[in-house]
A and B are shown apart, each in its own frame.
Chain A
Amino acid sequence: MLDRFIDKAKSAGAEVVKLAALEDAPAFLTDFLKKNDLKTVIISPDLKARPPFDREFAVTGTALGGESIWVDAGIVAADHGVAETGTLVHFDRSDEEKNVWTLPEVCLCLLEARNIVGGLDDLPPKIAAHLGRTDIPSPQVSMVTGPSRTADIECQLTIGVHGPSRLIILLT
């Protein structure tokens, strides 16, 4: 199932990096951001609240300022992966969370291998449970597969039209 997920995610244009443990993520991310000269970075609020990100990324913003419509990188964690399609699934609890998937140039997403499900048919109860929540104002679900893409000019596949041009999955 893991291999299928990796295969499908890559064929949708995502990059996959395997990390030994979740604790390795902050170091990898810091290094990656530096190497690629990614300066404006946002992190999903739910991830920022979790260790070890609550220490390592304490100063990183979670929301967009009025002028900051250009974001270099966003860091998120997926709730599930779908092997059938290479899809990342996230149960958004707020707009900030949702936008981290779409606004940046580069989207970096953590995914725990144990959260990968076989196919789309495994999702309905999970998605329905989230959409039925009344404790948050606007439950949303994001299913993201590869970078943002278009074929609107001469049917040529081109990435990064509205959302990220790179989607990097950090598997733990």
Chain B
Amino acid sequence: MKKPIVDPALKKVLQDFSRSFRTKRLAALAGYDFEMLRTRLAAIKDDALDRNEELLARFEENARAHGSVVLRARDGAEANAAILEICRRHGVRKLVKSKSMVSEETGLNDFLAEHGVEARETDLGEWIVQIAAERPTHMVLPAIHLTRGDVAALFARKLGRDVPEDIPGLVRIARGEMRKEIFAAEAGLSGANALIAENGAIVLVTNEGNGRLVTAIPPVHIVLATIEKVVPATADALALVKLLPRNATGQTITSYVSFIAGPHAAAQYIILLDNHRSEMAADPEFRAALRCVKCSACLNVCPVYQLLGGEKYSHVYMGGIGTLFTAWVHGLDKSKAMAKLCLRCHRCEAYCAAKIPIADLITALAERLNSETGRTLWKRFAFDGVMGWPRLQQGAFKAVRTARKAVGVKDGFARRLPAWMKKYDRFRALPSPAAVPFTKQFMKEFPPPVASAREAKGPVTIYGGCLIEHFYPEIGLAAARVLTKLGYTVKLAPGLCCGFPPSNGGFRKASGRAFAALLRKMEIEGPVVTLCPTCATMLSKRGPEIDGSEKAKALAQAVIPFGRFIVENELAAVRGMLKSPPAGLTATYHDSCHHKNLLAGERASRALVELALGAGIAEMDEADACCGFAGSYTVDNPEISAELLADKLAAIEKTGAGIVAMDCPGCLLQIRGGCRSRGLAVRAAHTAELLDEVLHPRPRLS
């Protein structure tokens, strides 16, 4: 049997770490304007990238004035060769290193070993991982996957004596061993968190102090730094120092911040490595990734990283940001498997110290992977073929509807699915297609002209999206009833796909075609109320970016999610209509990724649910962790999808709430199906359904 992709022990360690990280980070940022600090840092990095070559030249000149030797390396092989040449010139047999991600990028340790130079790590985690002959699991905490027992056993093997499983004792032993190695080494290698152009200094941000020893004890100091680390001035480096530790580990500052200008003893060599970064800087899209300061906050909050760890979710660089670097420095083909692991949940972006649009860049990468390394067959069929052409799209959904009878329906779920779909149905019952699509049901229930109960307030247009059109028409109808009751004349957008799924799969052209077809048929009358945050993102952001027409811009302006529309315009009216809210119902709320991370809709929706039920929300743990649906992701990665769903269901169950409310029909498919499979007596409902039910009390249909 295939080994499960998720190791439960590692998952627990990483999830616990993520929680404590977020708590500490928030405390460290209390009283600081994170948005302002990161905007400033992003601007510094952008400016430095704009004039990278000029700044590098100034850095070189100033470093040389202090007596440093500055070398340029085009790629990893050149950097490795330069380091070996320095080792030979100074008779270096043993080199000690403080943590350098870049040396992992170039494969320095193995290269030096092949040529008779021993490279020893001195960051405790790296040192442990090196003794264990394993690979790092985390950028900042490389040995996070090992327990004190594992480490004690390792040390016992290395030292040939018993070692107690006590952390301070283990650290003590490591201190002694590493100190001896540092004093025995003929050269020390460090990276740099920043290179200051105005004075030729390098900046090192460390906690352990190994960076200080490695750069000061051995006679030769080698700096291996990449070109995007250069900043104009000392103040810019301090802006980084101010934010990096708070965002990386929740510390106000690291134990040591060292500025080093010039060689301390025999010699200092500074190697400036490009390795495709100047090409990346010249790319208008991907250059944003070069702002990265390697704080790893994005990893710490990534739901997929927490399941897999850095060994499985990496080439050398880890996670989503690592995928982007991998594509450039190690090659597109190396990034392909990693790119498929990103949920595109955008959770990381709220934490990024440099405001890098990581998830959008993964989408842009998916486009390049499609055009340059070949397309996944099913995606080519589904996205480029079917979804990209409105007629085929409608035909396909019609065919699915016809299959309704064959699969059988019970309580809205499909009963007999073909064998190949079993792996998608096992952990989550799949819904059966609706007998009649939303747009047709709407025409029947609201025949024009709509006779409103109250004085008409003008038109609003509802856009349901594919899942509501073909699987959950009841959500669309609920929203229409609520809006009608509030006095609006409800219009309907065509039941066509918004174009998001092809876009997310990296099929930009097909996405543009689908979006344009929808736009052509759409009459934008009044606000366009959306019931799916993913569609809302497409209509208000991504679509207009691809299309650029005046009508697309008008649509972007008109789009508003259902929850926000009600809360911003009709809160008092709804309150007035709700004489006595239903008693005894408790709800928890699931934050759909795009609803929270891209549309900031989480507060309005909670307010709406609380209003409808007349009770506070029973908050679940990790309410904003992805449920694992994420569109085609659940098809690409069913194991991860199932694992994320299991965590979500456990969190829901723990609240004891009878209802889990949400704003995305995709999440609804996943969570409702999961509750069904698991036999969980919790009702998964869209906020529009809940509001409709309390405004139009009637016995619920089973």
Chain A residues in the interface with B (C-beta under 8 A): 8, 11-12, 69-70, 84-87, 95, 98-99, 101-103, 120-121, 123-125, 127-128, 131-132, 134, 137-156, 158, 160-163
Contacts and interface: CB of A to CB of B under 8 A. Distances in A.
B580 interface: no
Contacts of A128: 198-199, 233-235
A102 B208 CA distance: 10
A152 B128 contact: yes
Interface string B196-224: 10110100000111101100110000000
Contacts of A103: 213
B394 interface: no
A94 to B, nearest CB: 8
B233 A160 contact: no
24 contacts: A12-B253, A84-B252, A103-B213, A120-B238, A121-B238, A127-B234, A131-B259, A138-B67, A138-B262, A142-B212, A145-B252, A151-B249, A152-B123, A152-B125, A152-B143, A154-B13, A155-B141, A155-B144, A160-B171, A160-B172, A162-B178, A162-B179, A162-B209, A163-B256
A102 B142 CA distance: 23
Nearest to B127: A152
Contacts of B143: 152-153
Interface of B: 13, 16-17, 20, 65-67, 122-125, 128, 141-144, 146-148, 151, 167-168, 170-172, 174-175, 178-180, 183, 196, 198-199, 201, 207-210, 212-213, 216-217, 233-235, 238, 241-242, 249, 252-265, 268
Contacts, number: 174
A161 B174 contact: yes
A99 B148 CA distance: 30
Given A95-B265, A102-B213, A131-B196, A149 B253 contact: no
B167 A153 contact: yes
A158 B167 contact: yes
Given A99-B216, A153-B143, A138 B148 contact: no
Contacts of B67: 137-138
Given A95-B265, A128-B233, A158 B259 contact: no
Given A85-B252, A158-B171, A153 B263 contact: no
B167 A139 contact: no
Given A131-B196, A161-B209, A140 B258 contact: yes
Given A131-B234, A140-B260, A162 B242 contact: no
B179 A124 contact: no
B206 to A, nearest CB: 9
A109 B253 CA distance: 18
Most buried by A among B66, B208, B209: B209
Given A128-B199, A131-B199, A163 B255 contact: yes
B168 A85 contact: no
Most buried by B among A124, A142, A151: A151
Which 7 A/B pairs are nearest by Cβ-Cβ distance?
A: A163-B209, A152-B125, A124-B235, A162-B209, A138-B262, A143-B257, A141-B259
Given A149-B207, A154-B148, A162-B209, A138 B66 contact: yes
Contact of B171 (A87, A142, A153): A153
B124 A152 contact: yes
Contacts of B233: 124, 128
Contacts of A102: 209, 212-213, 216, 256
Contact of A141 (B16, B253, B258): B258
A156 B167 contact: yes
A12 B252 contact: yes
A127 B259 contact: yes
Most buried by B among A86, A132, A160: A132
A14 B611 CA distance: 50
A136 B242 CA distance: 28
A87 B233 CA distance: 21
A140 B13 CA distance: 38
Nearest to A167: B255
Contacts of A125: 234
Given A85-B253, A148-B208, A161-B208, A95 B216 contact: yes
A85 B245 CA distance: 11
B326 to A, nearest CB: 25
A85 B217 CA distance: 28
A112 to B, nearest CB: 21
A145 to B, nearest CB: 5
A85 B28 CA distance: 11
A141 B16 CA distance: 36
A85 to B, nearest CB: 4
A131 B201 contact: yes
Contacts of A151: 141, 207, 249
Nearest to A155: B17
